[in-house]
Amino acid sequence: MTNEKNKIINIISNYNKESQKMSKLLMGKLKKENFIVPDKYSNDAELNICIGGDGAFLRAVHRHNFPHIPFIGINTGHLGFFQEILPENIDQFIDKYINNDYIVEEILLVKADVCTKNNCFELFGVNEIVIKGIKSKVVHLEIFIDQNHLENFCGDGIIVSTPAGSTAYNFASGGSIVYPSLNILQITPLSPINSKAYRSLPNSAIVPGDSMITIKPEYRYENSILIIVDGIEYRYDDITEINFSVPEKTIYKLNFDKNMYWNNLKSKFL
């Protein structure tokens, strides 16, 4: 990926003291290798290096509107599932990058078309999009797969997660871990309530990526819906339905070790 005409690398860091220190160190090392590190984000860069934790990675992706420039993360946070490079390994990372010793992986997203009585809005998530009640109210939702009615849900909410996000909120809520390259979406219930009126699946359901998931709030609850995209809250009045799909839009990430995913999984969770 590196060449003489295009050797710009963006460094995106959070404001954590350790992250800022790492950013300065990395900038110096990259400049010694004749890379250009701009003061502001450049759309002409060939690589985005994100320093921080997974939250910093997600914020960077959203802030820069899901760029086609690949990402790699240096972990100065806690979990760091997206942030795979440890600070002590940055020299090895730079050497591998210069020698093109990596592969570029595509990360699939989740899209929500939120339709109200007057308009529709697009939202994109890397990890998940969550439907919850405002002020922790119980929500009542009808869920359809490709226009086929699946369930009348009653509970705290529903998570619709990507494969990459399956190890995040989805996993903490009892959902399944899904390998990142699989083209699927996962529906995971949050504290489902079963009664004579509402029959909710107690576990997650995995849906093919070419299917459409539709969630419709009951009429009297349509202004009590909170939509949370990768931790960012959105509110819309008079929601009639929300359609979830796997969009054509994707992001890209460098992988320096084909076994990194499984090693990461074990080291973070076991």
Question: pTM for the full model?
Answer: 0.92
Pick left, alpha or beta for residue 143 (phi over 0 → left; psi -120 to 50 → alpha; otherwise beta): beta
Q: Which of 113, 116, 112 is nearest to 125 (CA)?
A: 112
44 is catalytic: no
Q: pLDDT by residue (tens digit) across 166-223? A: 999 999 999 999 999 999 999 999 999 887 777 788 999 999 999 999 999 987 767 8
Q: pLDDT by residue (tens digit) across 228-267? A: 999 999 999 999 999 999 999 999 999 988 777 888 888 7
Question: Which of 54, 91, 113, 257 is flagged as catalytic?
Answer: 54
Quote the tokens at residue 24. 């300065």
Quote the tokens at residue 160. 């619709």
Query: Residue type for 214, please?
Result: T
CATH hierarchy code of domain 110-245: 2.60.200.30
Could you give the angle at the alpha carbon of 128 between the alpha carbons of 22 and 41, nearest 5°? 35
Quote the tokens at residue 256. 């320096």
Pick left, alpha or beta for residue 113 (phi over 0 → left; psi -120 to 50 → alpha; otherwise beta): beta
Q: pLDDT by residue (tens digit) across 86-115? A: 899 999 999 999 999 999 999 999 999 999
What's the rounded Cα separation, in Å, for the pair 207 and 187? 8
What CATH number does domain 9-107+250-269 carry, 3.40.50.720, 3.40.50.10330, 1.10.760.10, 1.10.150.130? Answer: 3.40.50.10330
DSSP H stretches of helix in the chain:
17-32, 54-63, 90-98, 169-172, 260-269
Contacts of 63 (CB under 8 A, 6+ apart): none
Confidence of residue 224 (pLDDT cuts 50, 70, 90): confident
pLDDT of 1 over the 60 cut: no
Collapsing DSSP to helix, strand or coil, 237 comes out as coil
Q: pLDDT by residue (tens digit) across 122-170? A: 999 999 999 999 988 899 999 999 999 999 999 999 999 999 999 999 9
Domain ranges of the chain: 9-107+250-269, 110-245
Query: Residue type for 53, please?
Result: G
Burial class (CB within 10 angstroms; exposed 0-12, middle 13-18, buried 19+) of 139: buried
